[in-house]
A and B are shown apart, each in its own frame.
Chain A
Amino acid sequence: MSPPAYDEMRTGEGVIRPHYRAFADWLHRTPPDRIAQKREEAERLFHRVGITFAVYGEQAGTERLIPFDVVPRIIPAHEWQRLEAGLVQRVQALNLFLRDIYHEQAILRAGIIPAECVLGNSQYRREMVGVDVPGGIYAHVAGIDVVRDERGEYCVLEDNLRVPSGVSYMLENRKMTMRLFPELFATQSIRPIQHYPDVLLENLHAVAPAGRERPTVAVMTPGAFNSAHFEHAFLAQQMGVELVEGQDLFVQNDTVYMRTTRGPQRVHVLYRRVDDDFLDPLAFRPDSMLGVPGLFAAYRAGRVTLANAIGTGVADDKSIYPYVPDMIRFYLTEEPLLANVPTLVLSRPDDCAEALAHLSELVVKEVHGAGGYGMLIGPAATLAEREDFRRRITAAPERYVAQPTLALSTCPTFAATGLASRHIDLRPYVLCGRDVGLVPGGLTRVALPEGSLVVNSSQGGGTKDTWVLAPDEPC
């Protein structure tokens, strides 16, 4: 089949890579029962802290723990530097793209991206045309999913520019590993990430409506039954701002207020974790119970900033993804530092024919799908599943893209039978506001079933802490 995956810890010859030496020593030195004890401790702590997520489609109120694996994913300094530069470049271009398509549409006129791809996209929000947002920033928080191919090259699998989640796991995982392995933190310099909420808050302050010395920021959540509610509450607490729901807000004279025990208080910036469609029943879905009537009008009037902006979904759509490298060249006149995964766009007849001829080797994804739902992993699928997808693709090719089945890199992970190789990805969070940057780290997701390539938590994925080593480390 495909060539063997790149292993994070060992070379093809089985030699421990330099940046994993300290951890490998620890593993070797530590008796198995002590490691087992640490793993139990982690499990117990996560339950007590209540870092759970709700699973849709199961009994109401079902809460599950995302499995946490104690073996960290370690990234050496030189790899991180390249990754960081590539991510900053990519998100800069995506923000310029969003500003452009809601204003001059230069990239469409230059013919770089077919206009119907953007203007005919269901995620393109006509309501946003001509609306100026502070600093021209649309994606204040971008979660970019990165994987490594069999040569160890980092490439971008997916951009998440709407309401990317998971950052609370990044922070809680670090808290956990510092508690479990203090000696490893003492003996090597692992770069800290716990200032993420401060950086986020600073950026949110920077994009407040003009003339605000001390703007009021709030985190907006769909409510306690949302799968990511823990994270919303966590971020609000870490930033020291209110966690509001739609019912806590009202709009008067294009100004947004929250209902407090001391009467109405104005809100300047909403870090909203509610989808566009549900934000304002007057502007979008009229049946939304989560939104605030009049919020969009206040936003258009520049009286409140929404982060992320409305209408970012068009830029992380899988049908736009293949054009991101061209965006970087167009807006920044630079070569992309991070590659895309080669992608067949099935609305193109040639690509479609090629995909149908190689279904058993490809991963087919729905253009608007997310969360690991609605995809076909060719090599793992049964003949019946592949034939089912063949019919669906033929019926509506524009709804699909296809990519080679990547041998995602592997990392040692505790399985029922002991330490074993499991596939991982990485989601770093790029923050934009005063400037564009990221804390050194991200959320590493791991596919726990043997051989599985699906890392989504809704599909049995787990998480790991991600250690970025400081440049002064010998490796």
Chain B
Amino acid sequence: MLSRHANELYWMARHIERAENTARLLDVTYRTSLLPYEVGEPGLAWAAPWSVPLITLGLASTYYERYPVLTAENALRFMILDPSNTSSIYTCLGAARESARTVRGAITSEMYEDLNSAWIEMRTCDYERIQARGVSDFLDWVKMRSHLFRGVTFGTMLRDEAYHFIRLGTHMERADNTARILDTKYHILLPSVADVGGAVDYYQWASLLQSLSGFEAYRKIYSDVISPRRIAELLILRDDMPRSLHSCMNFIHETLQLLCDAQSREIERQAGAMHARIHYGRTDDIMDFGLHEYLIDFLEHISRLGAEVSKAFLVPV
């Protein structure tokens, strides 16, 4: 297929996945912000958690260029509706829809219609409307639209190259985003060292799990109290968790095996090496290395792989 089309499809999938994960990240922040949370100035208590999504997505400086102070409302406006923010839900859905429109011949009409109707609805949203319907309800809507689009894709699309590039985009983005969401806990400060393992700590981990649809799975698998070690195991190493890094690397490696030919074998090897590291990884080693350090290292690798994919297939020189 045309490289330009593969590129549009890959980014269409990444943008939809990113919209979903931005919604997940905001959801976890929203839940956290509702927890009791003491800081120096009581008035800012509700605002402090909102720095977390900005830090994890690397958007803090962009945010402060646009807004003087950190408030929940500003952060929500910035992350949901701001067209100048490349990760806002508005920007992601718009970009995905624009990609789909450019290459609508390469996807099924059901897929295009689904994405187009999501975009038409998104365009009518403003902050007041989102508040009126409830922030959580809006974020659920974003997640549902993403599920719906994936379902339409899965259910209607020929398993051709176009499909594989969409799948690749989805899982590259998801791997990146899961790692970032997992890392949020690193940035949420606890009121004091004594609170480690306390109630606030517990609720923060629980809402993180929920935002990655992992809370119920955790209960089912471990039927025990929530511990950071097990969360790391669940969301990094378990390959039966659909949003875990292991699961994402399975899809990425598998898809690259299908897409690579003799000239692009090196990319498949790189993905294979990343996959092997997780496949044969141990929770103890991750915890010893440091969860934050491990995630940062993973993010660097996945971003390098993305650049290689782009060079080989999508924007050939």
Residues of A within 8 A of B (CB): 47-50, 223-224, 229, 233-234, 236-237, 242-245, 247-248, 258-263
Kindly list chain A residues whose C-beta atoms are within 8 Å of the C-beta of B109: 49, 237
Instruction: Determine the distance from Cα of A47 to Cα of B2 in the docked complex, in whole angstroms.
Output: 28
* Residue-wise interface mask of B (110-140) relative to A, using a CB-CB cutoff of 8 A (1 in contact, 0 not): 0011001100100000000000000000000
- Residue B213 lies at the interface, judged by CB distance under 8 Å to chain A: no
- The reply to whether B101 and A259 contact each other, CB–CB distance below 8 Å, is no
- B104-A262 in contact (CB<8A): no
Chain B residues lying within 8 Å of A229, measured Cβ to Cβ, are: 101
The reply to whether A260 and B1 form a contact with Cβ atoms under 8 Å apart is: yes
Does B259 touch A at the CB level, under 8 Å? Answer: yes
Q: Residue A261 contacts which of B1, B112, B113, B116 (CB distance < 8 angstroms)?
A: B1
Tell me whether A244 and B113 are in contact in the complex, defined as CB-CB below 8 angstroms, given that A224-B101, A262-B261 are known contacts: no
Q: Report whether B105 and A258 are in contact in the complex, using a CB–CB cutoff of 8 Å.
A: no
With A224-B98, A245-B4, A259-B3 as known contacts, state yes or no: A48 contacts B104, CB within 8 Å. Answer: no
Q: Is the CB of A258 within 8 A of B101?
A: no
List residues of chain B with CB within 8 A of the CB of A234.
104-105
Main secondary structure of the interface of B (DSSP, over half): helix
The answer to whether A236 touches B105, judged by C-beta atoms less than 8 angstroms apart, is yes
A250 CB → nearest B CB, Å: 11
A interface, over-half SS = mixed
A residues in contact with B316, CB < 8 Å: 259
Shortest Cβ distance from B315 into A: residue:
A259
Q: Collect the chain B residues with CB atoms within 8 Å of residue A50's CB.
A: 101, 104, 112-113, 116
Q: Are B4 and A247 in contact (CB under 8 A)?
A: yes
How far apart are the CA atoms of A6 and B244 in the complex, in Å?
Answer: 70
Chain A positions within 8 Å of B112 at CB level: 49-50
Q: A47-B120, A48-B117, A50-B112 are in contact. Are A261 and B105 (CB under 8 A)?
A: no
B2 contacts A242, C-beta separation under 8 Å: yes
Q: Is B188 an interface residue (CB 8 A)?
A: no
Q: Tell whether B313 is near chain A: CB-to-CB under 8 Å.
A: yes
A345, B120: Cα distance in complex, Å: 49
CA distance A26 to B305 in the complex (A): 62
Q: Name which residue of chain A comes closest to B316, CB basis.
A: A259
In the assembled complex, which residues on chain B have CB atoms less than 8 Å from the CB atom of A243? Answer: 5, 103, 105-106
**What chain A residues lie within 8 Å of B102 (beta carbons)?**
223-224
A/B interface sample: 6 pairs, CB < 8 A: A224-B101, A236-B105, A243-B103, A244-B2, A259-B3, A261-B313
Q: B161 contacts the other chain (Cβ, under 8 Å)?
A: yes
B161 and A261: CB pair below 8 A? yes
A247 to B3 CA separation, bound complex (whole angstroms): 10
Complex: A234 Cα to B117 Cα, angstroms:
18
Look across to chain A and name the residue whose beta carbon is closest to the beta carbon of B161: A261
- Once bound together, how far apart are the Cα atoms of A231 and B113, in whole Å? 16
CB pair B104–A259 under 8 Å, yes or no, is no
What distance in Å separates the Cβ of B236 from its nearest Cβ neighbour in chain A?
31
- The complex places the Cα of A222 from the Cα of B3 at a distance, in Å, of 17
Say whether, besides A50-B112, A237-B104, A261 and B6 are in contact (CB < 8 Å). Answer: yes
Q: Which residues of A contact B263 (CB under 8 A)?
A: 263
The 9 closest A-B pairs by CB, nearest first: A237-B105, A236-B105, A224-B102, A261-B313, A233-B105, A233-B104, A50-B116, A259-B3, A243-B105
Question: Nearest residue in B to A50 (C-beta to C-beta)?
Answer: B116
For B6, the closest partner residue in chain A by CB is A261
Closest to B99 in A: A224
Residues of A with C-beta under 8 A to B6: 261
* Bound Cα distance A283, B150 (Å): 46
Whether A259 lies near B116 (C-beta < 8 A) is no
CB distance from B1 to the nearest CB of A (A): 6
The answer for the CA separation of A247 and B316 in the assembled complex, in Å, is 12
Interface string of B78-95 (1 = CB under 8 A from A): 000000000000000000
In the bound complex, do residue B2 and residue A48 qualify as a contact, i.e. CB atoms below 8 Å apart?
Answer: no
Tell me the bound Cα distance from A236 to B104 in angstroms. Answer: 9
Residues of B within 8 A of A49 (CB): 109, 112-113, 116
Instruction: Tell me, rounded to whole Å, the shortest Cβ–Cβ distance linking A350 to chain B.
Output: 52
What per-residue 1/0 map shows which CB atoms of B1-39 lie under 8 Å from chain A? 111111000000000000000000000000000000000
Query: Which residues of chain A are within 8 angstroms of B313 by Cβ–Cβ distance?
Result: 261
A21 to B299, CA, bound (A): 69
- Residues on B with C-beta less than 8 A from A244 are 2
Chain A residues within 8 Å of B105, by CB: 233-234, 236-237, 242-243
With contact pairs A49-B109, A224-B98 given, residues A261 and B103 touching in the complex (Cβ less than 8 Å): no
Residue of chain B at shortest CB distance from A240: B105
The minimal Cβ–Cβ distance linking B43 to chain A, given in whole angstroms, is 42
Interface bits B299-316 vs A (CB < 8 Å: 1, else 0): 000000000000001101
B259→A261 contact, CB < 8 A: yes
Q: A124 CB to closest chain B CB, in angstroms?
A: 34
| Residues from chain A with Cβ under 8 Å of B98 in the complex | 224
Is there contact, CB below 8 Å, between B113 and A259?
A: no
Name the CB-closest residue of A to B313: A261
**Pick the contact of B2 from A224, A237, A259 — CB < 8 Å?**
A259
Pick from A48, A247, A260, A262: contact of B113, CB under 8 Å: A48
Residue of B nearest to A223 (CB): B102
Scoring B113, B259, B263 by chain A CB atoms within 10 A of each residue's CB, the highest score goes to B113
State A258–B2 Cα separation when bound (angstroms): 7
Cα(A262)–Cα(B313), bound, Å: 8
